[in-house]
Structure 1
């Protein structure tokens, strides 16, 4: 009689719901911790400064200058004349913005000082030089 009352064994199933929950959390964590920063197209080698500290600026105007004097403003190609016009427009809106100047380590000082002078003429006096 014991053969007639055999218990049917259920096929074991893998519970996928907890696995899907974990994978969704991992993807969510990856998106939350990912830093979306605009990549500039200029190839600059910033000068190395041993005593430089880290500073993350929320609102800033970033001016990048190449070795040959090419100018890039917040990721967009420009000239010194265009920089002057943009800074003049920005100066009428606010004078409390930080200007970050990024230049190649082999950029002549005259290009950097020219960009600084353009900013100071419009009252933007919070100027920082970025290094690595």
Structure 2
């Protein structure tokens, strides 16, 4: 009896096909990528001294007391003055928030008059404050 000794071939990893696959993947990603151009301009912008001074940072507060008197940011105003003040604010920006505070005994007709005055001027961001 003779024993044949078989030698196994030593396993090795053939990396050439792996490199081919990786190269194809890299080319695929490079071709399919969307390169967005950034439009950057090298500009020196002028300085403006009055920048942002016309913007209202806080909301306009309209108050109506129990005697139906109207207050614009804490100062009493007549109906005609209210229209003028709201129109002046609307000329600056239509995005100014209006906070309406009305006493619980104020007639609904007076509240709707103030809201209508704001909407006529174009101020539609009106909020009612309650307890």
TM-score of the pair, normalised by structure 1? 0.55
What corresponds to 2:126 in structure 1?
127
Question: Shift in Å at residue 88 of structure 1?
Answer: 0.5
Of the two, which has the highest radius of gyration? Answer: 2
State whether structure 2 residue 90 is matched by structure 1 residue 91.
Answer: yes
SS at match of 1:129: strand
Q: How does 1:1-132 map to 2 (within 5 A)?
A: 59-132=58-131
User: 1:80, 1:63 → 2: CA distance?
Assistant: 12
SS at match of 2:119: helix
Is there any run of 5+ residues in structure 1 with no aligned partner, and where? 1-57
Kindly report the root-mean-square deviation, in angstroms, between the aligned alpha carbons of the 2 structures. 0.9
Task: Give the total of aligned pairs.
Answer: 75
Is there any run of 5+ residues in structure 2 with no aligned partner, and where? 1-56
TM-score of the pair, normalised by structure 2? 0.55
Question: Shift in Å at residue 110 of structure 1?
Answer: 0.5
SS at match of 1:121: helix
